[in-house]
Structure formats: structure tokens, C-alpha cells
Chain A
């Protein structure tokens, strides 16, 4: 079960402050949304792979592994564009570009998660003035995904041992059958959440308004440099798009 994407490496991206990485990811998403011509989007996709490899030391192979679940969307996008656009080969090319744009979004998100620990990421959000409770909620949610997954498997085993078969019957029958798993899962989750809240309160959660941190993050010179560079690149992209009218095509 993949829930934590983080991979330990010694790279530029790994060592940057999470706030800079958040700003970088946001800028990258904006840049991707600025352009819509295949001649820009397709190179941008490969440029992102290269950057994630050189700056984050995440090999193309590892990038491929996390992007693989998104491939069906790429194929659907290509097929749909080929159908609706005339001529079809131009449509297919636009489909490729738009599909790759989606993959690039995915790549940006995954590279953030692969180079930043959950703790750093949440610290980053909190330093950006997000309330601590939200950060804790996020951490707990991430932490419990594998636990609930294991619980669901266990419940399914228990029901299979009573002759329960999900594979049989049409979709309505199957949905009704899922209640045999969902009800115990829901009740167990609520109980777990309740126990967790007692555990949190018994450890004085919320006793102080301003929370202190044992580990914290600080912006260093290189973080400011990286932030500046991100800003410059974003500025150049905006100028190219709106000042020069580059990289935008009229579709209809």
C-alpha cells in the first residue's frame, strides 16, 4: 500500500524549505495553465521530468512508477480529442499535449511529496499561517489510510469466511453486499476516532493557543535564492504568454 511517497535522497529539492517548494509547485501549475499549444506543453512535460531528475534525484523510472496510474486518462484524452477535432491527427496531437499536461500536474504534485516528508510539508503549511489543527487533521488522515486499509482487508476476510462473495451478482447486488464491509468499517473508524480524541485530550491537546515545535524550519539564503528564481521564471513565462502572445493557440 503506497501512502507515503517520500524517498530519502540528498538533492537540491530535498534540502529546500517546504514553503519554497510549495511556491515552486504553485508557479509550475500556473505556467502550465498559461500555455495550451502542443509545441510548448509537450516539451514542458519532458523538461519537468529532467528537472525532477536533476534537482530532486528522482529517476525517470521512479517518476514513471507513480505516474502509471494516470496513463488511462492520457489515453482517454488522446482518443476523445481525436474524435472531436478536425482534422483528427491535429486533435490527437492536442490530446497528447493536454494528456501530458495532466501528467505534468501529477508529476509536480508527486515530486513535491517525494522530496518532502509529511512533517515538513505540514510544518510548511502551518508557517504559512494555516491553523495547527488543520495540519494535525491532515497528518492523522494520512497516518490512518494504511490502518483503515488493513482493517478493510481484515473485515473482508471475516465476511468471506461467512460465504460472502463480492464478485457475484450485478452492480446493485454488489453495492448491497458492500454494506457487510462498510458498516463494520464505519463503526470501527468512528470508534478509533473517538479513542484517538480521548488520547489527544489526555495529552493536553489544545492547552496552549500558540504551539511550540521541537523540530522547526527556517528560510536560509539558498531558499530565498530559489524563491527569487521561481519568481523570475514565472515572470518570464507571464511575459512570454501575454507580452509576446507565445504558446497560445485558438482551438475553435
Chain B
């Protein structure tokens, strides 16, 4: 359980990025949305202690982030940054994925086992000896997820995991997210892509100007006046709402409704 209580964050220079956020999540898929500069990343960086609260507190599985280092918290909350290349430095995919577990001080055998497991999870078996920078965009994103996954965190923060990927690569990333959720991981999805929200999330948290505007089920979220927050409904919902078939999550569901 991640608990955020009355969280304020004021950056050096006085910018109030978060103004009193209350939020908690378990092993569910939560979409964190909001316009640029609304505080999404600032909030997410509090969950693994990269940022410490100015006021209020963040408790991760009973650990107060103020009292624990990022390295300790990284065993519980994994954070996959938006640009995968910003973390690649090893000569091989294997070395890259092994970096996290090695930092945790695990034995060689354990590290190797975790690397194999993580690479299998993201369908990158057989890539061990490739250079991270030689991979395609989608593969890089999956490798980034594997790098964090190998630390076996219970929660994962994914920052724009499908942005800039072609449909096939995006679909494989979505599959990975779904399977991780099935296995009991809690996933916080930071995104601007409303299609992704519709397809994956059960719950949506909307931030605006450092405040939480909305926190609830995805169908309720899409009935909000989203244009006020610089967002919009996915095409599928706009069609579905305008012909009166109501909230649907997928095209299949929509066609099913129409057929009835």
C-alpha cells in the first residue's frame, strides 16, 4: 500500500508543484493524468523517495520515504523514466539489467536468475549480448522495464511507456503491463494518451495545478469535462457517447453493444 498524506512540494525558487495531495494505491493499475506542469512527475518522484515532501508524508508499505534512501525504496517502488536511453550505460543488455540487482548486493547466481526472469517477462530472451543502444525503440522501452523489474519491486511507476512507439511495440508494452498487473504488481501509469488510459486503467487520478481534481473509476473520469484540463476523450468514446451506447473500453465491446 502506498499512502500519500497531505503532500506539498515546493521547489527551490518557490514553485508550488504539489499543493496538498492525498492519494493511495494498492496492486491496481492507476492512470495519473493531467496537463504539462500539473505535478504528475513530481508526485511520482515522491513514491520512491527521489523527492522528499516539503509538507505531509509518503508511506510505502509502512516505510516513511523521509527516513529511507532511494536505494532502499527502489526494492519496493520501481520507476521507469520516460526516455529509456537516459539509463543505458552498460555494454550488454545483460549487464544493463544486472545493474539494479547488483546494487541490491545480491549474489552472482541470484543476479543471473533475476536477469533471465526479467528479460523473459518483457520478451527479450536471447538479447543478453546485444548493446542496449542498438535496440529498436520498442525494445529499448521493454529493456528499461526489465531493468527496473529485475529489482522485483512491488509497485511500478511507468512514465509515458508507449509514447513514440509504433502500434506493434506499444501493444507489446501494454501486454507486459497487463501481465504484471495480473501477477499482483501495482502500476502507476503517467500518460497523456487517453487511449492507453481507457484500455488499461480501472482508476484515474487527475492532477491540475498541483491539486488532485479527480480520483475515481475510469468511466466516471471520461464523463468529466476534460477539455477544461487540456485533455480530451478518445475517439472511441466520443463516437460511443454521441450515438448513445455509453461507456465502452474496447472496440470489441462497442461493436457488441451495437449488435445488441
Contacts from A to B (Cβ < 8 Å): 151, 154-155, 157-165, 179-184, 187-188
In the bound assembly, the distance between CA atoms of A161 and B104 in angstroms comes to: 11
Q: Which of B75, B81, B148 is close to A154, meaning CB atoms less than 8 Å apart?
A: B81
Distance from B105 Cβ to chain A, minimum over Cβ atoms (Å)? 9
Pairwise interchain contact B148-A161, C-beta atoms closer than 8 A = yes
Pairwise interchain contact B151-A163, C-beta atoms closer than 8 A = yes
Pairwise interchain contact B133-A158, C-beta atoms closer than 8 A = no
Q: Which 8 A-B pairs have the closest CB atoms?
A: A163-B103, A183-B89, A161-B79, A162-B100, A158-B87, A158-B81, A160-B70, A163-B71
Known interface pairs A162-B87, A163-B70; 14 further A-B residue pairs with C-beta atoms within 8 A, sorted by A's residue number: A154-B81, A155-B87, A157-B45, A159-B87, A160-B70, A161-B81, A161-B148, A162-B100, A163-B100, A164-B99, A165-B70, A180-B89, A184-B89, A187-B88
Pairwise interchain contact A162-B148, C-beta atoms closer than 8 A = yes
Pairwise interchain contact B78-A161, C-beta atoms closer than 8 A = yes
Pairwise interchain contact A184-B86, C-beta atoms closer than 8 A = yes
Q: Is the interface of B mostly helix, strand, loop or mixed?
A: mixed
The answer to whether the Cβ of B74 comes within 8 Å of any Cβ in the partner chain is yes
Distance from B70 Cβ to chain A, minimum over Cβ atoms (Å)? 4
The answer to whether the Cβ of B85 comes within 8 Å of any Cβ in the partner chain is yes
The residue of chain A having its C-beta at the shortest distance from the C-beta of B84 within the complex is: A158
The residue of chain A having its C-beta at the shortest distance from the C-beta of B49 within the complex is: A160
Q: Which residues of B contact A163 (CB under 8 A)?
A: 70-71, 74-75, 100, 103-104, 151
The residue of chain B having its C-beta at the shortest distance from the C-beta of A179 within the complex is: B89
The residue of chain A having its C-beta at the shortest distance from the C-beta of B101 within the complex is: A163
Q: Mind listing 21 A-B residue pairs with CB under 8 Å?
A: A154-B86, A155-B86, A155-B87, A158-B79, A159-B87, A160-B50, A160-B71, A161-B79, A162-B99, A162-B151, A163-B103, A163-B104, A164-B71, A164-B99, A165-B70, A179-B89, A182-B89, A183-B88, A184-B88, A187-B85, A188-B85
Distance from B11 Cβ to chain A, minimum over Cβ atoms (Å)? 12
Q: Which residues of A contact B50 (CB under 8 A)?
A: 157, 160-161
Tell me whether A160 and B74 are in contact in the complex, defined as CB-CB below 8 angstroms, given that A180-B89, A180-B99, A188-B86 are known contacts. Answer: yes
Contacts from B to A (Cβ < 8 Å): 45, 48, 50, 69-71, 74-75, 78-79, 81, 85-89, 99-100, 103-104, 133, 147-148, 151
Q: Which residues of B contact A183 (CB under 8 A)?
A: 88-89
Pairwise interchain contact B103-A162, C-beta atoms closer than 8 A = yes
In the bound assembly, the distance between CA atoms of A180 and B103 in angstroms comes to: 12
Pairwise interchain contact A162-B86, C-beta atoms closer than 8 A = no
Q: Which residues of A contact B45 (CB under 8 A)?
A: 157
In the bound assembly, the distance between CA atoms of A180 and B151 in angstroms comes to: 17
Distance from B20 Cβ to chain A, minimum over Cβ atoms (Å)? 24
In the bound assembly, the distance between CA atoms of A158 and B81 in angstroms comes to: 6
Q: Which residues of A contact B147 (CB under 8 A)?
A: 162
Distance from A185 Cβ to chain B, minimum over Cβ atoms (Å)? 9
In the bound assembly, the distance between CA atoms of A158 and B74 in angstroms comes to: 11
Distance from A41 Cβ to chain B, minimum over Cβ atoms (Å)? 37
Pairwise interchain contact A161-B86, C-beta atoms closer than 8 A = no
In the bound assembly, the distance between CA atoms of A38 and B69 in angstroms comes to: 51
Q: Which residues of A contact B74 (CB under 8 A)?
A: 160-163
Most buried by B among A158, A164, A179: A158
Q: Which residues of A contact B79 (CB under 8 A)?
A: 158, 161
Distance from B151 Cβ to chain A, minimum over Cβ atoms (Å)? 6
Distance from B148 Cβ to chain A, minimum over Cβ atoms (Å)? 7
Pairwise interchain contact A161-B89, C-beta atoms closer than 8 A = no
Q: Which of A157, A180, A181, A184 is close to B85, meaning CB atoms less than 8 Å apart?
A: A184
Q: Which residues of A contact B85 (CB under 8 A)?
A: 184, 187-188
In the bound assembly, the distance between CA atoms of A79 and B74 in angstroms comes to: 46
Q: Which residues of A contact B48 (CB under 8 A)?
A: 161
In the bound assembly, the distance between CA atoms of A161 and B75 in angstroms comes to: 9
Distance from A189 Cβ to chain B, minimum over Cβ atoms (Å)? 12
In the bound assembly, the distance between CA atoms of A181 and B89 in angstroms comes to: 8
Distance from A21 Cβ to chain B, minimum over Cβ atoms (Å)? 30
Distance from B95 Cβ to chain A, minimum over Cβ atoms (Å)? 11
Tell me whether A165 and B86 are in contact in the complex, defined as CB-CB below 8 angstroms, given that A157-B81, A180-B99 are known contacts. Answer: no
In the bound assembly, the distance between CA atoms of A160 and B133 in angstroms comes to: 20
Q: Which residues of B contact A158 (CB under 8 A)?
A: 79, 81, 86-87
Q: Which residues of B contact A162 (CB under 8 A)?
A: 74, 87, 99-100, 103, 147-148, 151
